[in-house]
Amino acid sequence: MPNSRTISVETRGVGKEYRLQGNKIHALKNISVTMEQGEFVAIMGPSGSGKSTLLNLLGGLDIPTQGSIYLDGTELSSMNEKALAAFRRKKLGFVFQRHDLFPALTVRQNIEFPLILHETPQRDRENRVDSLLALVGLDDKGGNLPEELSGGQQQRVGIARALANEPTILLADEPTGNLDSKTSAEIMDFLTDLCGKSGVTLVLVTHDPEVAQRADRTIFLRDGEMIPQEGVLL
Amino acid sequence: MIASYAWKLVTRNKQRSFTFVFGLVLSIGLFSGILFFIDTLSRGMAQKALAPVTLDMVAHTVKAEVDPLAMVPKIMSLRGVSSVEPVASADFASAIGGPSVLGSSTGNSPSTVADPLNGSIVGGRMFAINPSYLSTFNLVKISQGSFQERGVVISESMAVSRKLGLGDSLNLTFSDIKRTFTLPITGIATMEGASALFSTATEAENSMVSDVVFVDYRWFQGALLPDLKKLALNPATVTPPGGILLDQQLHIKIDRAQLPPDPVSAAIQADALRRSIERQYPGELKVVDNVSVNLSSTKSDVLSAKILFIFLGLPGILLAAYLSVFVTELFADSRRREISLLRTRGARPGQITGIVALSNLYLSILGSLAGISLGLLLISLTQKLPLGSLLSEKGILVSGGFAFLVGIGLSFVAGFLPSLGALRREVLEEKRIVKRRYTIPFWKRSYLDFIFLGLSVAILVVTQLNGGLKPTGTEGQAVQLSFYIFLSPLFAWIGTTLLTIRIVTAYIENPKNGLPRLFKGLMGGVGEMSAQSMARRSASIAPAVTVIALTLSFGISLLIFQQTYNSEKRLDSQYIVGSDIRLTPALNTPQKADFAKALMVPGVASVTPVYRDTQALIGMEKNTVYGIDIESFRKTAFLPNSFFVDGNSPRTLAALRDKTTDYAPGKTDQVLQALEQMPNGVLISVEQAQKYNIQLGDPVRIKLYNRFTNEYKPVEAQAVGFFVYFPTSSQDSDFILNASFMTQAMGFSGVDNFLIRVDNLSSISTVSDRLKEKFKNQIPLRIDNTDTVIKVDSSSLTSLNLGGLAFMELLYTLLVATIGLAVFLYASVNERRREFGTMRAFGADLGHLRRILFSESMTITLISLLLGILVGGILSELLVVLLSSLFTIPPRGVVIPTTHLGFLITLVLAGLLISTVLSARHLEKIKVVEALREL
């Protein structure tokens, strides 16, 4: 792990509550963590422990009920919806368990999407997409539709899309959840390598201990709270 | 448990359920609305048919010795008979006015009253009635004085022409009766609306007489009847043509409240009553039934109207039904996911089938009932009928029941069957395929669209080759419409729908269709990307375009058809009248040609006199012959080129020879010039030319009749031209002579009517009123104009007001088009929630998402508009061609109502914009986290 890296992600006493049929549900309680630039952090916990909730909060997709979240020094709650969207475009990339590629767009167009949002000029977009396709080893699949690819290939497209705008933070929600072990390993190799080379902060939610083992650090959650001990499986 | 779960399925997916129900409401609403419209239509047509009937039935005694008075009690006792009045009519030879002379016969021989033009005796008709007749039947209205037993009431035209008034005496003579009958004039009557009095047992047409007197029936029985009976029973007695020696009648009023509202049933009931009356006195009575005659002509019109309205409504119904199917297709993916979920939770296929069937049934009941309510509301509004009265009608209840069943059926086909299909597929396979694989539909593979269009063209060609539909040719009988004639447009509709889907799909899928470039320019990269994604979503976009395009084309074709229809009604009335106004002096006050000068009131552009002989003989048959002054006729009468044929053309000669209708078109100027150049020339209708085997140049012997001298005068004319239609003819004028030749030959120069052309079409009523006012109480005359003419020979279909139906269907056009788009966009947002959530995760803001939605909306709107206008134009041409026989003069083409069309398109565009904006608001409701969590 590189020394003296800047803080990329910081949460201070973050909590999230929901109301369900009159009852208050504490999805997260008092979560305070910091992650450094280029760090690979895994978040583990049983179902309903609040992993995805935390990830959504980190991505600015949801608003914490308590506490504050800082990404690259910027507090998310200080931004309105439009500013938050712009921040996500510039700084964040998402990788989903179900890939969530746009089915009516080709592989190339899927990867290009964040660049279009960012209003990148066309030529730059084309160059960027080409390099990403090469990065993920899908040079010859640019014109294919997502349904024409295997699960692993679709996930690689998802990763390429997430990296399109050169985010500083990559949020992955169970990226290997739908893949077989071999493909999972390939994807994780890729992500780990990327994290190490490009300095992207990778925050990854997983159930899989083998995946979590590759991380620099693992945060354990249970019933919305952090469990400070390592290696305690829930 | 299944029932309650099925209900939960409905209530949990509120948006999907609401959208499906709404589609069903529109479909069933329009369908039931059309059915209800037809139900109330026949009621309206029956009332309309009976409204002009002032004399329900007239029973004529066949033999002079029969005593009609003795028949009254028995006929009164028949069910359905309201009143019976004895009436006797007889022509008098002369009626001479004098100072008040009391008493009856003077024994003096009658002196003649000079005909103002020729100096001959002028007779008239006597009617003997009871005093109660005037209140029972609304035919004769006493405008001055009263009806008395020992007096006589004379017609207004007789009073004016002979300068008679109350208190004067009238000396009446009858042919072959030596006595003179003198009676004081005690009243003057208006004869407007009394044409039914002049019908006879043998002639279909009423020959109105201007000089009419009314006497008390008891006086008639004592003073005149015995002599008239003696004459009638004498075989040597000769009655002049069109004259009446003695006609004993019973005028019968039926109880119309007992007639069913449906004209078909009412006609049957009235006819049964007629037979029942005749059956009481076999061989003695001949009943003329005006009720069932009018209803029968309406009967065929009702059927034709039903077919016409079903046809005009059918595209709307098909479209609205397609909307239901389209809506179901939009939610098919979420439905499949739901079924998959149930399977994974352990539900058996039978249980799932039950749940899906029941949830579909709940929705179909809701949708059908709401749709029927909408249909009732629309009818109540457009026909101005109270809802309560509609609900009490059996026809409406039956139609409502039928519409309900159709709703259940439609829901079954559109909602349940696709879900059942989804259930049958493997769950695992369903889970792997988030987006349904698109397979080429059967109709596309088998080119059903082209097949239907080909069939449509074939039927049209066959119909037109067979001359299209011909009018019946009998006066007063309606035009029949065969159902097969609608197959062509029906197949055209189906074929066009399918072809539209094919074309639109092909266009959207084509990467070079220009849409990405267009939207890149309008909305930047997001717009371009949206257009690119549309290419792969053609399966859902093409149906949306089809629904809106065809809805718009339906509305457009209906508007154009209605405008053409109204325009042709006006042209037909111009043809019937002959020009803008026709002024007919009473027969007893004939005018010469120079009377035209007196008719040049402000607003009149030109006047032409028209002479007429209704008793002329050609061969052994009576024909009506007209005489025209060509110079003024040319300027005044309605004379399109389409009225005339080229008599010299081999094509015309062949048509006359082979008795077809394939005449070579002629020109007005050419034909009239031929008549002008030949003083004894005659223009002949093509029907008569065929019948009498006359060709151009052939001599034509005509016997012209002078009604004052009762003499025929033979003349030899020469055929100089042929026509298909002639102004004012309306089927009864077949021979046209030069006026000078005709009047010289007849020895009578009285003009039958004057045609008048006005400066400005909008001043027709004003000019008519001016003329009425000018000659009020001076010369009795009748004024007809294109605004008020009653078409005796026309189909009541052309007198139908399409306005109510048009309003309903235009409302549907607006609703279906705007709601079709709203449904598509709404469903598009709903079904792609996860996709939109992902976009938001990547930094798309609401503005980006709106651009995506707007680009889809614009694509659908633009393509729909272009296609809608194109298809609407073509369909309206087809409609007008097929239904051209509804009009006396076949339409020459469509009439484009640019203002109305512009208004419709503007309204639809505004509706589409509102739909888009409202659907865009739905984007704001997408919660990203929840969307990403969805399966």
* Residue B795 pLDDT > 60: no
What CA–CA distances, in Å, run from B769 to A199, B580, B766? 97, 13, 5
Distance of CA B38 to the CA centre of its chain: 13
Angle among Cα B765, B768, B774 to the nearest 5 degrees reads 140
- Tell me whether A121 touches chain B (CB under 8 Å): no
Closest CA relative to residue B340, chosen from B434, B275, B277: B434
Contacts of A122 in chain B (CB under 8 A): 525
Q: What pLDDT sits at residue B126?
A: 94
Percent of chain B with pLDDT over 70: 84
| Residue B644 or B732, more confident | B644
The pair phi, psi for residue B813, each rounded to 5°, is -55, -45
Query: How far is it, in rounded angstroms, from Cα B728 to Cα B788?
Result: 14
Task: In whole angstroms, give the CA distance from residue B766 to residue B602.
Answer: 10
Residues in chain B closer than 8 A to A82 (CB atoms): 845
Interhelix angle B846-882/B898-924, nearest 10 degrees: 150
Residue B314 has pLDDT above 80, yes or no: no
Question: In this predicted model, which residue has the larger pLDDT, B241 or B545?
Answer: B545
Q: Does the pLDDT of residue B109 top 60, yes or no?
A: no
Most B CBs within 10 Å, among A79, A102, A129, to test the B interface: A102
Is B433 an interface residue toward A (CB < 8 Å)?
Answer: yes
CA-wise closest residue to B841 among A75, A44, A226, A101: A101
Segment (H or E) for B684: strand B681-685
Most confident of B96-110, B264-278, B473-487: B264-278
Binned at pLDDT 50, 70 and 90, residue B345 comes out as confident
Is B515 in CB contact (< 8 Å) with chain A?
A: no
Q: Which positions in chain B touch A59 (Cβ < 8 Å)?
A: 841
Say yes or no for a CB contact (<8 Å) between B842 and A114.
yes
Question: Which residue type occupies B424?
Answer: R
How many Cα neighbours within 13 Å face the side chain of B212?
Answer: 27
- What's the pLDDT score for residue B206? 46
> How many angstroms separate the CA atoms of B419 and A97, rounded?
28
Q: What is the DSSP string of B348-365?
A: -HHHHHHHHHHHHHHHHH
Cβ atoms within 10 Å, residue B394: 11
Please say if the pLDDT value at position B112 is more than 70.
no
- Give the best residue of B432, B838, B855 to mutate against chain A (max A CB count within 10 A): B838
B205 pLDDT band (50/70/90 cuts)?
A: very low
Strand order in the sheet with A225-227: A92-95, A169-173, A201-205, A40-44, A217-222, A225-227
Distance between CA atoms of A233 and A10, rounded to whole angstroms? 24
Q: Which residues make beta-bridge pairs with B249?
A: B60, B87
Q: How far is the C-alpha of B151 from the C-alpha of B181, rounded, in Å?
A: 11
- Chain B's closest residue to A81, CA to CA, is B845
% helix / strand / coil in chain A, to the nearest 5? 40, 25, 35
Token pair for residue B831? 């079904």
Residue of A nearest to B525 (CA): A116
> B424 pLDDT exceeds 80?
no
**Using a CB-CB distance cutoff of 8 angstroms, which residues of chain B are in contact with residue A147?**
433, 435
pLDDT at B201: 63
B622 phi, psi to nearest 5 deg:
-80, 140
Answer yes or no: is pLDDT of A45 > 50. Answer: yes
Asked if the Cβ–Cβ distance from B929 to A61 is below 8 Å, we say yes
Q: Give B435's contacts in chain A (Cβ within 8 Å).
A: 103, 147
Check if the interface score ipTM surpasses 0.90.
yes
Residue in B524, B537, B843 nearest the CB of A114: B843
Q: Number of A:B CB contacts under 8 A?
A: 83
Roughly what angle, to the nearest 10 degrees, separates helices A151-162 and A181-198?
Answer: 20
Q: Does residue B132 carry a pLDDT above 70? A: yes
Confidence of residue B207 (pLDDT cuts 50, 70, 90): low
Residue A165 Cα, gap to closest chain B Cα (Å): 10
Query: When comparing pLDDT for B222 and B788, which is higher?
Result: B222
Q: Tell if the CB–CB gap between B536 and A104 is shorter than 8 Å.
A: yes
Residues B872-886 have a mean pLDDT of: 77
Cβ-based contacts of B533 with chain A (< 8 Å): 102, 104-105, 109
pLDDT band at residue B110 using 50, 70 and 90 as cut-offs: very low
Residues of chain A numbered 141-160 and touching chain B (CB < 8 Å): 145, 147
Taking the C-alpha atoms of residue B574 and residue B589, their distance in angstroms, rounded to an integer, is: 26
B436 versus B379: the higher-pLDDT residue is B379
Q: Is the pLDDT of residue B202 over 70?
A: no
For Cα atoms B171, B176, B178, give the angle at the middle one, nearest 5 degrees.
50
DSSP assignment of B145-168 equals E---TTSEEEEHHHHHHHT--TT-
pLDDT the model gives residue A205? 93
Rounded CA-CA distance B797/B469 in Å is: 14
Residue B40 in 3-state DSSP? helix
Mutant choice from A105, A106, A124 vs B, greatest count of B C-beta within 10 A: A105
Calpha distance A12→B661 (Å, rounded)? 96
- Per-residue CA distances from B565 to A124, B570, B625, B826, B888 (Å): 62, 9, 31, 39, 12
How many angstroms separate the CA of residue A3 from the nearest CA in chain B?
Answer: 31
Which of A109-118, B426-435, B502-511, B797-806 is the least confident region?
B426-435
Tokens found for residue B349: 């296929």
- B539 reaches A (C-beta below 8 A): no
The answer on pLDDT for B114 being more than 50 is no
Q: By the 8 A CB rule, do B544 and B816 touch? A: no
* Residues A114, B840: C-beta atoms closer than 8 Å: no
Beta B285-289 vs B57-61: how paired, if at all?
Answer: antiparallel
Q: State the pLDDT at residue B481.
A: 54
With CB atoms and an 8 Å threshold, state whether A88 touches B524: no
Q: What is the DSSP letter of A146?
A: G
Q: Is A112 on the interface with B (CB under 8 A)?
A: yes
CB spacing of A145 vs B848 below 8 angstroms: no
> HSE on the CB side for B765, CA within 13 Å?
3
Rounded distance between C-alpha atoms, residue B382 and residue B908, angstroms: 21
What CA–CA distance (Å, rounded) separates B826 from B830? 6
Residues 6+ apart with CB under 8 A from B200: B60, B244, B247
Q: What is the tens place of the pLDDT at every residue in B591-629?
A: 888 889 999 999 999 999 999 887 788 888 888 899 999
B843·A113 Cβ contact <8 A: no
Q: Band of the pLDDT at B677, cuts 50, 70, 90? A: very high
Q: Please give the Cα distance from B670 to B318 (Å, whole number).
A: 50
Distance CA A79, CA B888 (A): 76
Model confidence band, residue B334 (pLDDT cutoffs 50, 70, 90) = confident
pLDDT at B454: 93
* Predicted TM-score (pTM) of this structure: 0.71
Among B434, B525, B843, select the one facing A89 at the smallest CB separation. Answer: B843
Per-residue pLDDT band for B485 (boundaries 50, 70, 90) equals low
Beta carbons of B845 and A82 less than 8 Å apart:
yes
Residue of B nearest to A101 (CA): B835
DSSP secondary structure letter of residue B112: P
pLDDT exceeds 60 at position B714: yes
pLDDT value of position B470: 46
Measured torsion, CA atoms of residues B327, B332, B333, B337, in degrees rounded to the nearest 10: 130
> Which positions 13-72 of A are in contact with B (Cβ < 8 Å)?
52, 56, 59, 61-62
Do B785 and B580 meet the contact criterion of CB atoms below 8 Å apart?
yes
Percent of chain B with pLDDT over 90: 24
Most confident of A205-219, B156-170, B457-471: A205-219
Mapping DSSP onto H, E and C, the string for B450-517 reads HHHHHHHHHHHHHHHHCCCCCCCCCCCCCCCCCHHHHHHHHHHHHHHHHHHHHHHHHHHHCCCCCHHH
Whether chain A has a CB inside 8 Å of the CB on B444: the answer is no
Mean of pLDDT over chain B? 81
Question: pLDDT tens-digit profile of B743-791?
Answer: 888 877 888 889 999 998 788 889 999 998 888 767 777 888 887 764 4
Say which of B434, B533, B848 has its CB closest to residue A117: B848
- The Cα B216–Cα B148 span in angstroms is 7
Nearest CA of chain B to the CA of A114: how many Å? Answer: 6
CB contact under 8 A, B537 and A96: no
Which of B842, B846, B926 to substitute to test the interface with A, most A CBs within 10 Å? B842
Does B673 have pLDDT greater than 50?
Answer: yes
Please provide the DSSP assignment of B630-651 as one string. HHHHHHHS---GGGEE-TTSHH
Query: Which of B538, B540, B932 to substitute to test the interface with A, most A CBs within 10 Å?
Result: B932
The CA R_g of chain B, rounded to the nearest whole Å, is 36
Which one has a higher pLDDT value, B398 or B587?
B398
Contact A81 B838 (CB under 8 A): no
B717 φ/ψ angles, rounded to the nearest 5 degrees: -105, 170
Angle CA(B903)–CA(B905)–CA(B909) in degrees, nearest 5? 115
Query: Is 90 exceeded by the pLDDT of residue A58?
Result: yes
The answer to whether the CB atoms of A145 and B532 lie below 8 A apart is: no
For B778-811, b/e burial (b = at least 16 CB within 10 A) is ebbbebbbbeebebebbbbbbebebebbbebbbb
pLDDT score for B116: 43
In chain A, residues with a C-beta closer than 8 Å to the C-beta of B430 are none
Q: In Å, how far are A173, A187, A205, A228, B218 from A209, measured between CA atoms?
A: 15, 15, 11, 17, 123
Phi, psi of B827, deg, nearest 5: -65, -35
Q: Given an 8 Å threshold on Cβ–Cβ distance, is B532 in contact with A109?
A: yes
Place of tokens 């699949």: A141
Contact (CB, 8 A) for B323 and B823: yes
The reply to whether A81 touches chain B by the CB within 8 Å rule is yes
Type of residue found at A51: K
Which residue is closest to A178 within chain B, CA to CA? B432
Length of chain B in terms of residues written: 935
Contact B246, B64 (CB under 8 A): yes
> Which residue did the predictor score with more confidence, B382 or B408?
B408
Chain B residues close to A105, C-beta within 8 Å? 529, 532-533, 536
| DSSP secondary structure letters along B700-723 | EEEEEEETTTTEEEEEEEEEEEEE
Residues B842, B846, B848, B854, Cα dihedral to 10°: 140
Sort out which chain B residues have CB atoms less than 8 A from A86's CB and list them: 843, 845
Q: Assess whether pLDDT exceeds 80 at residue B589.
A: no
Whether the per-residue pLDDT at B43 is higher than 80: the answer is no
Predicted confidence (pLDDT) per residue in A161-189, tens digit: 999 999 999 999 998 888 888 888 888 88
